[in-house]
Structure 1
């Protein structure tokens, strides 16, 4: 036995010596190449970006061969930039959409995957799938949150102005603006340097009137089936109320951007912002101690008509032409879990569409739930729009409203006349 061991040792030594004489290099086992998924979004708020970062980092930890390149784009230029990429064939692996109707060109050009049979949808509250579903029943995006549109207010500013409760009528709203102004607080923060905020300043009034009168008003105007002058949804009154409250916005609103407007509310220097519920994230990222509340835009003399708009439309889209589409679908599965839903609500300060999550993650939403949701004082604006699909018409609309804001008299009739003339000319030019 001993002689065998000696013999084996000599043999091994001879093999090693032979390898050394041939200068053999030991090659380490190769590691898989790391693939990068591109994900484009328009989130400006810190909490939304943090949710994306945490989620994608968690995915990369579970799948070490993948990493993400997250690109944030200004909301006002977002769709235009996506369309430019689509034309050039440089669409990202994943991207966000806000509204299905305004994104149908991406579906038609093959840049949106049909998600109808994906397992991630099983975790989504069925009520919130209509906003990402086409007429044929197919689903094109994974919804992420329930968006509201109304008035975000600083409770401490209201208390300083001795406003006991949020206004429920238009007259009460004007009285609240006067009370805030008397104590040196800007009643309404406006960041018109970012043009997209102009649409949203109108939205709370525009949407509820569309909901009550004609949900297809935007499409009808665009198609020339009706005009602004026809006043089908009381657009003249909507514009009149907008002009009336413009005297309560901050000084030089066109030199104030969205971040600065949010800071005014965060610091209690302004009492209100009229916009979407995503504002809560933006304001609290600037001042976590902000004592915020939400109330429905009180456009009527009837307090019962003060209802809060809630919806879920758009979400995460997967590019089926992506070489990483399978990994992107796995990422959807992760972002549809309760774990990421809780991270979303905690950081983005918004209601998630994922089943089984609590609504008491933030005091602002506790108030929204008790005042509006539980009392049935909400309306679904999933099928309602504030923007025109035709981008030329949208630019005309924003330019006309901008001119209306700058005009010291805020002349409603002149604005409506110019809108109808410009829309008519653009329709003719498009034929």
Structure 2
């Protein structure tokens, strides 16, 4: 799902910056249904880019309208990189939608505190959700703020036919094997790793699987510690230098001109078998298969160490669908959530979005890609829960500094980790006071 994690502000104070940044961005895409007199029109803002996710959303809302003719929907799709900034801009102008999506409960606390999220605790439709996937929408006081929809993973998506063409008979489980496979793909005339850095969020997601795995292994929320000034990039408490070194090493195997390649183009490279891998989230499966439904894809854990036991797939469900507590259409919105929590919508979700639903009792063999994930990782216990581990900084200025430093690291021919770390610590110290 994309969810791809987004540049996020700590509060409304940085909305002005967000407005300046969004001024140069494409306009949001809005789907406006036909309306009749006395119709309730529910506005729903989302950040779904993949075709399957949009089909699921449109199918569900159209089904609801068929059963409730007095209700219709305006669906607005927003670019992921600007999503939370746009929501906060709308909050400041008291123009929040009736329903919207969040990726991470922690990053939406300002919207919750401002009364733009309805407390869903005790709603009957929540009984349809697998309890294992409720932690990401439950605050410390036990209240539920969103309807979770899917299980997102951070890892590697690969083209099985490209691997076979390169003579690779199984995914790598160590870093050394990963690099050897990159060389084998390159020798076979296949781009080892597709990179779409024209969409800057993909740069952070190119290191997210490595970063999350090391945060989990260290047992600490390192990004939050750095944001608060309790840790630095230089202290190397989660081996950030090694994460950068691995990033620099595999940059030798990405497509030419990655900054001229956007996310959709990168997915096409994998869909057509011109590339062997993309390092990103499991939502990539939907995106790639929307380009080529015949793509034979697989998923494997990012193998960051020499120990195969460390190759675990990060899975989580955080965030989901939020109802605006100030909406005049709250009852209709809650009824909509009840539909989207049904097994029927879960089946549509898995079929169209090509992602694991959080709804109870659904099959796991809906797509061969997920059969492999279930057999190799979920059933064998080779997963970890990254619900409480962020990939982005909440403060927009810190996140921009992070992306800028990583961008310079990619452009630096030497891919010097020490230079990148020095720049990151200096930039972060300028933006927030060092921890005493």
Q: Give the TM-score normalised by structure 2.
A: 0.91
- Alignment partner of 1:319 out of 324, 327, 331: 324
* 1:179 match: secondary structure: helix
Aligned counterparts, 1:55-70, within 5 A: 55-70=60-75
- Alignment partner of 2:151 out of 146, 152, 156: 146
The aligned counterpart of 1:220 is 225
Q: Partners of 2:59 and 2:263 in 1: how far apart?
A: 25
Q: Partners of 1:281 and 1:131 in 2: how far apart?
A: 22
Task: Point out where structure 1 has 5 or more consecutive residues left out of the alignment.
Answer: 1-30
Q: Does 1:170 align with 2:170?
A: no
Q: Does 1:113 align with 2:118?
A: yes
- Deviation per CA, 1:325-375: give whole Å up to 9, x if none: 110000000000000000000000000000000000000000000000010
- Alignment partner of 1:392 out of 380, 389, 397: 397
Which structure would you say has the larger Rg?
A: 1
Q: Does 1:416 align with 2:433?
A: no
Aligned counterparts, 1:6-25, within 5 A: none
Q: Partners of 1:42 and 1:255 in 2: how far apart?
A: 23
- Alignment partner of 2:243 out of 211, 223, 238: 238
Task: Point out where structure 2 has 5 or more consecutive residues left out of the alignment.
Answer: 1-35
Deviation at 1:33, TM superposition (A): 1.0
Q: Partners of 2:128 and 2:253 in 1: how far apart?
A: 44
- Deviation per CA, 1:258-295: give whole Å up to 9, x if none: 00000000000000000000000000000000000000
- Deviation per CA, 1:105-151: give whole Å up to 9, x if none: 11011100100111110100001000001110101000000001100
Runs in 1 of length 4+ with deviation above 6 angstroms? Answer: none
* 1:55 match: secondary structure: helix
Q: Give the TM-score normalised by structure 1.
A: 0.92
Deviation at 1:199, TM superposition (A): 1.1
Q: Does 1:208 align with 2:213?
A: yes
The aligned counterpart of 1:91 is 96
Q: Partners of 2:144 and 2:413 in 1: how far apart?
A: 47
The aligned counterpart of 1:426 is 431
CA RMSD of aligned residues (A): 0.9
Q: Partners of 2:200 and 2:97 in 1: how far apart?
A: 25
The aligned counterpart of 2:356 is 351
* 1:251 match: secondary structure: coil
Deviation at 1:76, TM superposition (A): 0.6
Q: Partners of 1:60 and 1:371 in 2: how far apart?
A: 41
Q: Partners of 1:77 and 1:202 in 2: how far apart?
A: 20
* 2:365 match: secondary structure: coil
Please tell me whether the aligned partners of residues 297 and 369 of structure 2 are also in contact (alpha carbons under 8 angstroms). yes
- Deviation per CA, 1:216-272: give whole Å up to 9, x if none: 111110111110000000000001100000010001001100000000000000000
